[in-house]
Amino acid sequence: MGDHKGYIRKTLKLAKKGSGLVSPNPMVGAVIVKNNRTISSGWHKAFGLPHAEIEALKKAGDKARGATLYVNMEPCCHYGKTPPCTKAIIEAGIKKVVCSVEDPNPLMAGKGIEEIEKNGITVIKGIMEKEGEEINRAYTTYITKKRPYIVLKWAQTLDGKIATGTGNSKWITGEDARMFVKNLRFEMDGVIVGVNTVIKDNPSLDYISPSFQTEKRLLERKRYWKIILDPFLKIPEEGKIWESSNKIMVVVSEKVKDENVRNFREKQGCEVIKIPFENNRFSLKALMDELYQREIGIVMVEGGCYTLTSFWEERFVDEIMVFISNKILGGDNSLAPISGKEKRHISEAVGIEYYETKKIGDDFFIRGRICFQG
């Protein structure tokens, strides 16, 4: 029977190499084994490039005949940006496929496995299923909810403040934590902030590529948007945000004159989109639809308080990343990360399922999923 878990574990490790580059596609790794020996492996390296199975089959060549293919997600059977993997698997003479999870995409949903089995290939599925689902939770959200996977990120003092009453927030956390954020941004397809954050902090919102990801041809394929919520087009025409080549999207209300939008777009070379803006708030549903249409699969919302609260109250949040400093600020008017409607009972609080905690310099980092009720 072989070490199915061990080989699937290898596919998951390979799959993670595609983090930040394959979205909105899933992260997938593949290992081809024959006579208890690994003869080739591969992973999906970037959006639009060959899938993991194709990479592994190409390396294996004729040795793939009669071998077992391990893959953390069901092979695709439809034409997208690349041909279907099932066809290549059948033609290569693979005799067995072992996978972790079925693809949640309705175009797939077991059809890839069905096609493989119809061609006489044995399929074993559900190996390390929980881990297989976990690694591609962002992809599942994108496919099933037709919107990006949304991460709310903030830095706060030990007493839960993200800024003084005057809006000053530099710097709550230390340099190590701030560098860590830039590395986290590489996992994202985009970062969202409100225009007041741009005006007050003059951020670059850029990412740092991970040290293991050094292939220039892959890094050049990185898809990344800086998304500014700016209802009345107040964003400065100069600043750190404009200094890199990353795409910039400025989201304005439909009340802004078309002429102003056109002039700004032409001058700054960015995209300006209009979405509904009522009761001093953007329609986040309309924004999510726009991002989905642009194949933006995972975004980080970096605040401030008003922007974070908007996403929180409309439940457009799947995960939080919180940095907690070793400072206590105090102050009746100091800002908390999430404000909004007052709650009367602790039972109304939203639970967080932690899955990563660590110390970074003098600060603590918490990453967890949101457990909304109802």
Three-state secondary structure call for residue 98: strand
* Cα Rg of the chain, angstroms: 23
Give the per-residue pLDDT at 109. 75
For residues 301 and 308, is the Cβ–Cβ distance under 8 A?
yes
For the question of residue 302 being annotated catalytic, the response is no
- In whole angstroms, what is the distance from residue 374 CA to residue 371 CA? 10
Length of the chain counted residue by residue: 374
* Most distant pair of Cα atoms in the chain: their distance: 71
Give the per-residue pLDDT at 239. 93
Percent of the chain scoring above 70 in pLDDT: 97
For residues 352 and 369, is the Cβ–Cβ distance under 8 A?
yes
What would the two tokens of residue 21 be? Answer: 């580059």
Among 53, 55, 74, 319, the one annotated catalytic: 53
Residue 2 binned pLDDT confidence (cut-offs 50, 70, 90): low
Distances (CA, A) of 361 to 77, 179, 205, 210: 47, 11, 21, 19
Query: Per mean pLDDT, which range of 79-83, 99-103, 149-153 is the poorest?
Result: 79-83
Mean pLDDT (whole number) for 342-354: 86
Look at strands 190-194 and 225-229 and give their pairing.
parallel
- In whole angstroms, what is the distance from residue 280 CA to residue 63 CA? 63
Distances (CA, A) of 36 to 6, 7, 24, 63: 12, 10, 34, 13
Q: What is the pLDDT of residues 327-338, one digit of tens each?
A: 999 888 888 888
Q: What is the pLDDT of residues 218-271, one digit of tens each?
A: 888 999 999 999 999 999 999 999 998 889 999 999 999 999 999 999 999 999
Mean pLDDT (whole number) for 282-311: 94
Query: Per mean pLDDT, which range of 14-18, 62-66, 228-232, 304-308 is the poorest?
Result: 304-308
Mean pLDDT (whole number) for 50-70: 94
